[in-house]
Amino acid sequence: MPISDLATALPRLREAPARRWRDVLIHPLVLRLLSFAAVFALWEYAGRIPLSPAFPTFLETLGGLGAIIADGSLFKAFLITLYPLVIGLAVSVLLGVGLGVLMGLHEPSEWLIAPVFIIAQAAPLAALIPILTFAYGIGLTAKIMTVCIMAMPVIVLNTLGAVRNTPKSLLEMGRSFLASRSQSIRLVILPAASPMIFAGLRLGCAAAFIGVILAELLITPTGIGDVISYNQSVADYPKMYAAILSIIAFSVLFIEALERIEVTLFRPEARA
């Protein structure tokens, strides 16, 4: 029984102030802050034991974060990491959505192309990274390709799924009003598919981040991957943890922003 019911069941008089206090406690924002504070405190305590010499406390990590921000290395690293990430993501989105829509509307191409992506979706593509290094060397191309192979399958399959199950009655409605093929695609199929396509883009984005970090840890250490592996090799753990925290925080914020853009630009009805 959720706690609020519990509150009303108690005798009214004695605990009036307590109930107000309890309502504050279970307010979502307060709880969220509480949970963050609890985890960081736990981390601080674990670091103090120390759990292991390689486990800095939360405050040390913040210190490390301050250091890598102050000397600009974090900012420089992010710029280097973002370069293959954004290009790879852009390619994956354009190609991925394009392929997904093509397959959704044209069955022979679905027959030909979909199985490759179905396997890619289930398979651990990270193992392909060394192959990309052989094929494209250790430069930017290999990293962009890594981002693409990680991000594309989920984008393609989500788009295909979205286009494939456009509500039948909407399609018939379009036809009954003599919508041409291109009108039907532009005005019915794509808008109806856009929520699911965007869900695919967010998943693709998360996969792209995994891709770029794997590329930087496996191909050659550049950007954030370099900050992480260099600090690991010189056992400067606060900076290492700070770099990892920053890329994780950044990816979560990036995906959150994508969701906000989607609602404002494409989904007026969600906003209303």
- 246-265 residues in contact with other proteins (CB under 8 A) are 247-248, 251-252, 255
CB neighbour list of residue 156: distance below 8 Å, 6 or more residues apart: 96, 99, 100, 103, 113, 117, 200
Which range of residues in 64-72, 93-101, 127-135, 154-162 is near other proteins by CB under 8 A? 127-135
Binding pattern for the stretch 66-105 against other proteins, x by CB under 8 A and - elsewhere: ----------------------------------------
**Residue whose CB is less far from other proteins, 62 or 179:** 179
* Dihedral over alpha carbons 10, 14, 18, 22 (to 10 degrees): 10
The residue from 119, 257, 261, 263 that contacts other proteins (CB under 8 A) is 119
* CA neighbor of 124 nearest in space, from 218, 201, 261, 190: 218
CB neighbour list of residue 172: distance below 8 Å, 6 or more residues apart: none
The residue from 9, 13, 234, 265 that contacts other proteins (CB under 8 A) is 234
**Residue whose CB is less far from other proteins, 13 or 21:** 21
**DSSP tag of 72:** S
**Residue whose CB is less far from other proteins, 11 or 53:** 53
CB neighbour list of residue 47: distance below 8 Å, 6 or more residues apart: 55, 56, 57, 58, 60
**Residue whose CB is less far from other proteins, 71 or 107:** 107
Report how far apart, in Å, the C-alpha atoms of 32 and of each of 20, 59, 251, 257 are: 18, 20, 19, 19
3-state secondary structure of 49: coil
- Segments of the chain assigned E as strands: none
The residue from 74, 147, 163, 218 that contacts other proteins (CB under 8 A) is 218
What is the nearest approach in angstroms of other proteins to the Cβ of residue 13?
Answer: 25
For 82-106, the DSSP string reads: HHHHHHHHHHHHHHHHHHHHHHHH-
* Site residues (CB under 8 A) for other proteins, limited to 11-30: 26, 28
Q: Which tokens hold the place of 62?
A: 């913040």
What is the nearest approach in angstroms of other proteins to the Cβ of residue 83?
Answer: 15
The residue from 71, 137, 257, 261 that contacts other proteins (CB under 8 A) is 137
The residue from 57, 92, 133, 158 that contacts other proteins (CB under 8 A) is 133
**DSSP tag of 222:** -
* Site residues (CB under 8 A) for other proteins, limited to 139-178: 139, 167, 169-170, 172-178
Total residues contacting other proteins by CB under 8 A comes to 97
Burial class of residue 125 in the structure, from the number of CB atoms within 10 Å of its CB (0-12 exposed, 13-18 middle, 19+ buried)? buried
**Residue whose CB is less far from other proteins, 13 or 53:** 53
**Residue whose CB is less far from other proteins, 97 or 110:** 110
Q: Is 135 in the site for other proteins (CB under 8 A)?
A: yes
What is the nearest approach in angstroms of other proteins to the Cβ of residue 191?
Answer: 5
Q: Are the beta carbons of 198 and 158 closer than 8 angstroms? A: no
